[in-house]
Structures are given as structure tokens and as C-alpha cells.
Amino acid sequence: MKLWALVVKDIKLSAKSNYTYIVLVFVIVFVVVAVFFVPDEFTNDPEVFVHAGTEGLLSGKIEKALDVDEVVFYGSRDEVISNMKKDRTSIGVDITTENGKMVIEFITQGYESERLKKILEAHVMGWAALETGYEPNSYVTVLESNNPDIPANKGMLPVFLVMESAFMGFFMIAAYVFQDKEEGTIKAYAVTPAKIWQYLLSKVLVFVLFGWVSGLLATIIIMGPGIRYLQFMLLLTSASIFGSMLGLIAAGLFTSFTKAMNVIFVVAFVLGITVIPYYMPSFSPVYIRILPTYPLLFAFREVLFPTGNTVLVYTNVLGYLAASAVLFYIANKLFEKKLV
């Protein structure tokens, strides 16, 4: 089995490579940050922006009752919302009266945890009943309705997984092929009866393995055992394969890492920019949404925090596998034409 000989060799080489340790350190740092440093909810009480659209006596009572540090009053509901958009950790409350009944509207950013919302609601409702003698009606308005309930630290995980699978595969595979070119070992390989596709596929397999180890490690620690691991593995695998293929193309087009550097960074930047609309859905122009890492981020989120959109996951898996097949074909042609 020539392919097996290649895989064993590539694993041996990567076990002795600094790149591998950089990736490992990256995984560890990410996990530590996610587990210990980014709170899974806002432990500092978030600022509460309030608009009290009530009149007379009630208005005075509200202001007096809510005379605490975290509460800021604004003159209108619109002002509350525009200030909430500036301070993404804040929560809004709009109090009005309707037919003599107090109505409380909770305005949330979309990514507060369910627990925090419950606490806030219970708190405000309890206060309202106690202080004003009214039994208020309440409802919740969410600013970004497509933000499911994701704690901040877990919300970072899809970004990490995209980095780790697609990105690392892309960078590392290019780096490894360029090293073979530099050492000239690729020439030594070329004068053996083994095939180019075996050489390329071996590299891809090794980085898929890498993606599995680092992706699984981080996900198990952060998410625990309760997620859909089959879907997760399918997505992780197809993303790693796709990233590796891009790396092979880059490595096939250039003779050395230095020459490929600019292109590699441009590609990395272009693919990385999709993190912005992931965090700020209000900024998601078409030219970013068509980038391959954009659907991938949301597919990972769907796997980790399901909203029932399983189709999204499987379309991604199939899409990346199909694209990879095409890229693999191109990479083979590139290397056949110009191996050294």
C-alpha cells in the first residue's frame, strides 16, 4: 500500500514539525479562553436601558424604583434601541400603559442566555407588581431575530472550527508541499512508480486527521457529549477536505512558499472576513455571503445549536465534497504538469 506508506511518512513528518505544535497550542489556548475567560453569560449585570412611556404618578414611581446604577433612562423606545445597538451587552425595557394596564416590553440583543432573560423578566415583573400595584402584561422583542440563544463562549466555537478545519488545512498543506519542493524530496518521489494523486491524497488525509483531533478535542470539552456528532464529523471532515484542496491548488501554482505568500494571505483574508457578518448580521453584503466560509460558519452553528435547519448542514457537506472533488482534479493536473 503506497498510500499507506505515504500517510505514515506524512504523520511522522508532521509529528516532528513545529507547525503541528503551533496548531496544538492554538487549540489549547482556544479551549482555555472559551472555558475560563469568556463568561457563558454576562456576569457583570448588563446595563438596562429603559423608556418609561407612562404618565403622572406612575412615571415618578418607576423612576424612583429603578434608581440603580445599571439603569439608564431614555426618552423614547427608538432611543433605547439605537443605544442598545451601540452597547451590545445592554438590554432594553419599554414600559407603557395601555387601557390603564401597564405593558412591559423586553428588548433583547438576541444572544442573551435564556436564564438571564428569565431572571430579568422575573425581576422586573416582580418589581412592577410590588411597586406599582399593577399586574403588567409583558412580551419580548428580539433585535436580531436570527441570533439563537448562544452563550458567548460557545458562540466562538463555529469560528474556531472553521479556522481549524478549512483554514489550517489550507495553510499547513501548502506549507508542507512547499517544504517538499524546497527539500527536493518531491523530485525523489516523482522518479518512483507511485502516483501524484497518492502523494496529494496522503497529505489531505493527514490534515483531515488533524482537523478531527483538534476539532473534536475542542468541541467535546466545550460542548460536552450532547451534540449531533455524526453531523458534526461529516461537516468537519468535508470542511477539512475543502481547505486542504485549496492548499493543494496554491501549492501547485507556485514553486515556493515565498512566491505564494501574497496569494495565500489574500485568500486567508477573503475567507476570514466572513466572521464579521457572523457576529454582526446587520452587515452581510452579498459579496461576503457568497464566500465558502460563510455558509460553513452557519452550518457549524446549526450543528452545535440546532434550530431544525438540518438541510443547511447536509447541503454544506455535499457542497464542500463536490467542490473538493473538482479542486482535487485540478490539483492533480497542476502537479502533473509541473511537479518541480
Point out which residues bind another protein (CB under 8 A): 1-2, 5, 8-9, 12-13, 16-17, 183-185, 187-195, 337, 339-340
Strand order in the sheet with 48-53: 71-73, 48-53, 91-98, 101-108, 137-142
> Rounded to the nearest whole angstrom, what is the least distance from the CB of residue 336 to another protein in the complex?
9
> Rounded to the nearest whole angstrom, what is the least distance from the CB of residue 337 to another protein in the complex?
7
Q: Which residue, 28 or 194, is less far from another protein as judged by CB?
A: 194
Q: Which residue, 286 or 340, is less far from another protein as judged by CB?
A: 340
Kindly write down the DSSP assignment for every residue of 26-53, as one continuous string.
HHHHHHHIIIIIS-SS--SPPPEEEEEE
Q: Which residue, 3 or 142, is less far from another protein as judged by CB?
A: 3
Q: Which residue, 94 or 180, is less far from another protein as judged by CB?
A: 180
CB-count burial class (<10 Å; 0-12, 13-18, 19+) for 224:
exposed
Contact 87, 161 (CB under 8 A): no
Q: Which residue, 9 or 88, is less far from another protein as judged by CB?
A: 9
Cα angle 60-88-72, degrees, rounded to a multiple of 5:
15
For strand 91-98 and strand 101-108, is the pairing parallel, antiparallel, or unpaired? antiparallel
> Rounded to the nearest whole angstrom, what is the least distance from the CB of residue 203 to another protein in the complex?
14
CB-count burial class (<10 Å; 0-12, 13-18, 19+) for 206:
buried
> Rounded to the nearest whole angstrom, what is the least distance from the CB of residue 274 to another protein in the complex?
35
> Rounded to the nearest whole angstrom, what is the least distance from the CB of residue 212 to another protein in the complex?
23
Q: Which residue, 194 or 330, is less far from another protein as judged by CB?
A: 194
Kindly give the residue spans of alpha helices, DSSP state H, lying in the chain: 2-15, 18-32, 56-65, 77-86, 114-132, 152-155, 157-162, 168-183, 185-190, 196-223, 229-253, 257-272, 275-279, 286-289, 293-304, 310-337
Q: Which residue, 44 or 192, is less far from another protein as judged by CB?
A: 192
**Of the candidates 230, 231, 229, 233, which has an alpha carbon nearest to the alpha carbon of residue 241?**
233
> Rounded to the nearest whole angstrom, what is the least distance from the CB of residue 209 to another protein in the complex?
18
> Rounded to the nearest whole angstrom, what is the least distance from the CB of residue 204 to another protein in the complex?
18
